[in-house]
Chains A and B, each alone.
Chain A
Amino acid sequence: MDDSRGMIRLDGVGLRYAGTPGAETAPPVLHDLNFSVPAGGFRWLLGESGAGKTSLLRLLTLAVRPSAGQLHLLGTAIERATRRDLPALRRRIGVIHQDFRLLPHLSAFDNVALPLRLAGRSEGQVHADVQEILRWVTLTRRAHALPAELSGGEQQRVAIARAVISRPDLLLADEPTGNLDDAQAERLMQLLQELNRMGTTVIVASHATDLVRRHPGRALLLRDGQLLYDGPSEELVETVAETL
Chain B
Amino acid sequence: MARSLRPARADDLGLKRALSDRLLPLLVAAMTFLAAMALAGAVAAAALATHWRGGAATLITVQVPLPESPAAAPPQAAAALAATGATAATETRAQAVARLLAAMRGVSSAHRLTGLELHALLTPWLGPDVEKLSLPLPAVFEVSLAPGAQAAALEPDVIAAAPGSVVEHNAAWLERLAVLVRSLQGCAALAVLVVAFIAAAVVAVATRAGLAARRDAIEIVHGLGATDSLICGQFAGRVTILVLGGAVLGLILAMPVLLSLAQIAAPFREGAQAVPMQPADLLRALPPPLWIGLATLPPALGLIGFVTAQATVRGWLAQLP
* Any A CB within 8 A of the CB of B9: no
- What chain A residues lie within 8 Å of B5 (beta carbons)? 123-124, 127
Among listed B117-125, B138-146, B163-171, B226-234, interface-contacting one:
B226-234
Among listed A35-43, A106-114, A190-198, A201-209, interface-contacting one:
A106-114
Could you say which of B13, B225, B318 contacts A90, with CB atoms under 8 Å apart?
B225
* Any B CB within 8 A of the CB of A143: yes
* Any B CB within 8 A of the CB of A62: yes
With most chain A CB atoms within 10 A of its CB, the pick from B14, B225, B226 is B225
Query: What is the chain B residue whose CB lies nearest that of A63?
Result: B223
Could you say which of B12, B216, B223 contacts A95, with CB atoms under 8 Å apart?
B223
With most chain A CB atoms within 10 A of its CB, the pick from B221, B224, B228 is B224
* Any A CB within 8 A of the CB of B292: no
Query: What is the size category of the interface that chain B forms with chain A?
Result: 20 to 34
CB under 8 Å from chain B, chain A span 54-98 = 61-65, 83-84, 86-91, 93, 95
- What chain B residues lie within 8 Å of A115 (beta carbons)? 224-225
Query: What is the chain B residue whose CB lies nearest that of A19?
Result: B319
- What chain A residues lie within 8 Å of B10 (beta carbons)? 110, 117
B25 CB, nearest partner CB in chain A, Å:
21
Contact A90 B228, beta carbon cutoff 8 Å: no
A129 CB, nearest partner CB in chain B, Å:
13
**Complexed CA–CA distance, A64 and B319 (Å):** 11
Contact A118 B230, beta carbon cutoff 8 Å: yes
Query: What is the chain B residue whose CB lies nearest that of A124?
Result: B5
**Complexed CA–CA distance, A95 and B222 (Å):** 12
Contact B227 A103, beta carbon cutoff 8 Å: no
- What chain A residues lie within 8 Å of B225 (beta carbons)? 87-91, 93, 115, 118-119
CB under 8 Å from chain B, chain A span 115-134 = 115, 117-119, 123-124, 127, 131
Contact flags B17-59 to A (C-beta < 8 A → 1, else 0): 1000000000000000000000000000000000000000000
Contact flags B274-291 to A (C-beta < 8 A → 1, else 0): 000000000000000000
- What chain B residues lie within 8 Å of A101 (beta carbons)? 216, 220, 223
Could you say which of B11, B216, B321 contacts A86, with CB atoms under 8 Å apart?
B321
Contact B3 A90, beta carbon cutoff 8 Å: no
* Any A CB within 8 A of the CB of B1: yes
**Complexed CA–CA distance, A190 and B224 (Å):** 24
* Any A CB within 8 A of the CB of B113: no
B18 CB, nearest partner CB in chain A, Å:
9
B residues contacting A by CB (< 8 A) are 1, 3, 5-6, 10-14, 17, 216-217, 220-228, 230, 318, 321
List 11 contacting pairs A-B, 8 Å CB cutoff, sorted by A. Answer: A64-B321, A65-B321, A90-B222, A95-B223, A101-B216, A101-B220, A103-B12, A103-B13, A103-B221, A109-B3, A115-B225
